[in-house]
Amino acid sequence: MNYTTQMDAAKKGIVTKEIEIVAEKERMDVNKLMELVAAGRVAIPANKKHKSISPEGVGEGLRTKINVNLGISKDCNCIDNELEKVKVALDMKAEAIMDLSCFGKTEEFRTKLINMSTAMIGTVPIYDAVGFYDRELASLTVKELLDVIEKHAKNGVDFMTIHAGINRETAAVFKRNKRLTNIVSRGGALMFAWMELNGKENPFYEHFDKVLDICEKYDVTISLGDACRPGSIADATDASQIKELMTLGELTKRAWERNVQVMIEGPGHMSLDEIQANMLLEKKLCHNAPFYVLGPLVTDVAPGYDHITSAIGGALAAASGADFLCYVTPAEHLRLPNLEDMKEGIIASKIAAHAGDIAKGIKGAREWDNAMSQARRELDWEKMFSLAMDPEKARRYREESKPEDEHTCTMCGKMCAVRNMNKVLNGENINVLRDDE
């Protein structure tokens, strides 16, 4: 039986190799997974032309996934540096990489990235359009903008951020309801500017069926972009954000009718007390489509530490229903992240995702922690390193400060509670001030 997309296959009861792989990774019954894909509650972004991919599922009942952003810009346009980041991101088991390149030889980099990546690849075509045509934004035609989407699909991109929710109606709501930080989404600002400069409707909204034609042909998952995501905690959960979210819900249904998979993008900057409600709003208004969030960053005053502000919000978001976390690095709001920034951002996001999975009761999440706790009780350092989220750093920290007693660490030495409890429970004496007999 033939099928066009993973959603089409699931609706027809066809177990694709991608569905089979994801079911095995997630320890989920394959029929249950097919039901979720058919209903749009899980997406499996896997372009037919991305041959090196190891498919992952995003959505209900699955592990929370993380995404790494990278790519070349006018100020930092070294392809080799970005490819080195790709290798490290894959080694660190990031499930997705978004190429946000906006200058120079974007297709050369994108093609190399797709060919080498086992992770799913995302892009934002509007970022690429100005550089691709080497013309100013206002002069780009509808056809040219749609052609960039098709070019990315042909290259093998698995999911694309399409800012279709910032239509003229949403833009009017934004203009009537002033914000502290206006529109901070790069793609959202570009689409808003294109509409204002041309006096026309957002082409991705007006010609959404043509976008769906492309996505259905290549099985590209649409990541419906949140142009009106809050860029400060003051703007969270405001009229613009909610108006756009309602529009994204309508577009989601249209995509599903064409068997095109959907993810919804979300905030942004948001205080802790608003996060849980926002996760509920997305699931309600967007019909339980997978939710992909940037952060949320829970305070605006920590530049240089926004991987931490993001991880705090990301953990609560994941625990409350978010399915996919976009990493944030210490360089957020300051500059293009370097390799070390990227590593810190990945670890922070992985911690947030895993903390959310424990709260959601995802299979295997708590067992990992229990295995670490047992290794700690047994003072099995090699086992602890093997279970650590960042084994290299854990091993390095221990090597940098060697204890007198190899079973302890230099924090407590022979006063180590674990060591002493093990000895007492085994009927042994505790020698804290002298060598063991």
Q: Of 313, 329, 360, which residue sits at a domain end? A: 360
Tell whether the model's pLDDT for residue 404 goes beyond 90.
no
CATH of the domain at 230: 3.20.20.540
* 50 labelled binding-site residue: no
Tell whether the model's pLDDT for residue 85 goes beyond 90.
yes
- 436 lies in a domain? no
Tell whether the model's pLDDT for residue 80 goes beyond 70.
yes
- 30 lies in a domain? no
Tell whether the model's pLDDT for residue 250 goes beyond 80.
yes
145 with 215, same domain: the answer is yes
Across the range 104-131, mean pLDDT stands at 92
* 287 labelled binding-site residue: no
pLDDT recorded at residue 334: 95
Q: Residue 172: give the domain boundaries.
A: 46-360
131 with 176, same domain: the answer is yes
- 22 lies in a domain? no
* 227 labelled binding-site residue: yes
295 with 154, same domain: the answer is yes
* 205 labelled binding-site residue: no
* 98 labelled binding-site residue: yes
401 with 293, same domain: the answer is no
* 265 labelled binding-site residue: yes
* 397 labelled binding-site residue: no
**Three-state secondary structure call for residue 98:** strand
* 399 labelled binding-site residue: no
pLDDT recorded at residue 96: 98
Which residue type occupies 123? T
* 110 labelled binding-site residue: no
* 28 labelled binding-site residue: no
Residue 225, both tokens: 């972009």
123 with 223, same domain: the answer is yes
Percent of the chain with pLDDT over 90: 89
Residue 13: exposed, middle, or buried by beta-carbon count in 10 A (0-12, 13-18, 19+)? Answer: exposed
387 with 328, same domain: the answer is no
- 138 lies in a domain? yes
Q: Of 360, 386, 415, which residue sits at a domain end? A: 360
- 80 lies in a domain? yes
Maximum CA extent, the chain: 86
* 176 labelled binding-site residue: no
Q: Give the chain's mean pLDDT.
A: 95
* 292 labelled binding-site residue: yes
pLDDT grade, residue 212 (50/70/90)? very high
Across the range 298-326, mean pLDDT stands at 98
Domain count for the chain = 2
Q: Could you give the CA distance from residue 77 to residue 204 in angstroms, rounded to a whole number?
A: 28
* 152 labelled binding-site residue: no
- 4 lies in a domain? no
* 395 labelled binding-site residue: no
Tell whether the model's pLDDT for residue 70 goes beyond 80.
yes
* 102 labelled binding-site residue: no
pLDDT recorded at residue 79: 87
- 21 lies in a domain? no
Tell whether the model's pLDDT for residue 105 goes beyond 80.
no
294 with 204, same domain: the answer is yes
Q: Of 360, 376, 403, which residue sits at a domain end? A: 360
- 308 lies in a domain? yes
* 75 labelled binding-site residue: no
pLDDT recorded at residue 436: 58
End-to-end CA gap in the chain: 74
